[in-house]
Amino acid sequence: MSSININGVEMEQGILQKTMMRTMVKVVSGAVCVAAAMVLAACEKSETAAQSEPASQRAAQQITEHVQQPLDRARAAQEQILQTDQRIHDADMQAGGASR
């Protein structure tokens, strides 16, 4: 397998590709959680603003509850991704290959 020199560090191409893929997964999962949190914050703001009208308040509360579940699932998925990534890294380090 060919190797690539990055800033004076020699890496096998497969390790570089694996590292890049793991980094992208972490970035995307983090972005999904941030986006979901922003939507939830907007829902909570609209819920607060709608308190003067009971029907609006109920609708805003339902939207907030509807958004909360996917946000919780996204956070749990991100935590699983980070734990899996750490296990992969630990296994790579034990095997003698530096993948980070």
pLDDT tens-digit map of 55-90: 777 777 787 788 788 888 888 888 888 888 888 878
pTM: 0.49
How many Å apart are CA 33 and CA 37, to the nearest integer? 6
Task: Please indicate, yes or no, if residue 18 is contained in any of the structural domains.
Answer: no
Q: For position 26, what pLDDT does the model report?
A: 82
Task: Please indicate, yes or no, if residue 73 is contained in any of the structural domains.
Answer: yes
How many Å apart are CA 100 and CA 93, to the nearest integer? 9
87-94 LR contacts (CB < 8 Å, sep 24+): 88/22
Task: Please indicate, yes or no, if residue 6 is contained in any of the structural domains.
Answer: no
Single-letter amino acid, residue 14: G
Task: Please indicate, yes or no, if residue 16 is contained in any of the structural domains.
Answer: no
In which domain, by residue range, is 80 found?
52-87
Number of structural domains (the chain) is 1
Q: For position 100, what pLDDT does the model report?
A: 44
Phi/psi at 6 (nearest 5 deg)?
-120, 115
pLDDT tens-digit map of 16-67: 777 788 888 888 888 887 887 888 788 777 767 666 677 777 777 787 788 7
Task: Please indicate, yes or no, if residue 77 is contained in any of the structural domains.
Answer: yes
Task: Please indicate, yes or no, if residue 34 is contained in any of the structural domains.
Answer: no
